[in-house]
Amino acid sequence: MNRVVHPIEVESYRRLRARLDTSHFPPLTRAVVERVIHSAADLEYATDLVMDEGDLERAHTALHAGAPVVVDVEMVGAGITRRETVCRLRDAEAGPGLTRSARAIRLAYEQVGPGALWVIGNAPTALEELLTLDADPALVIGLPVGFVGATESKAALRESGLPAVSNVSEKGGSAVAAAALNALLYHPVPAEEKP
């Protein structure tokens, strides 16, 4: 992907790196950490985020091979640039034992099946529902925000063993979830992987 980086972004990254040394992170982890920090202007994400480089490598390959990207809310989708996303929230209705967000996750899974990248930045119940499905995801970016259910849903994600990007605090949200996916989207594809 040819992407023109605006001078403001270049300067923002220069200032970020002047305040925080990220050079010890592996390449994709560094890309995710820096883009999330850049999106939130919050250096604490450097120690709050949890991910595995091998998981990111496999997700990066799947993403650039065309795996679907599913988001829990349209705001997350709006933040993901240069890639179509699936969001079924408008089609979903709450029902007995299921929030509207959880129902939307079920609808999205029925549409895309296994192997998708799931980006959840808003609703802990969306993440909780995803964990009940046999979704076989390429990656789950689970960064819902909030004081009720957010930390618990992210802990459950980490305990699930699924390939994931999460964080341990209540912090998160649409912008940081989209940023984590964009980091993988913008990261160059090695020459041997290019189609």
> Active-site positions?
38
Q: How far apart are CA 28 and CA 37, in angstroms?
A: 14
> Vertex 22, ends 20 and 26: CA angle to 5°?
170
- For residues 35 and 52, is the Cβ–Cβ distance under 8 A? no
C-alpha span between 92 and 87 (Å, rounded): 10
- Number of C-alpha atoms within 13 angstroms, CB side, residue 16? 24
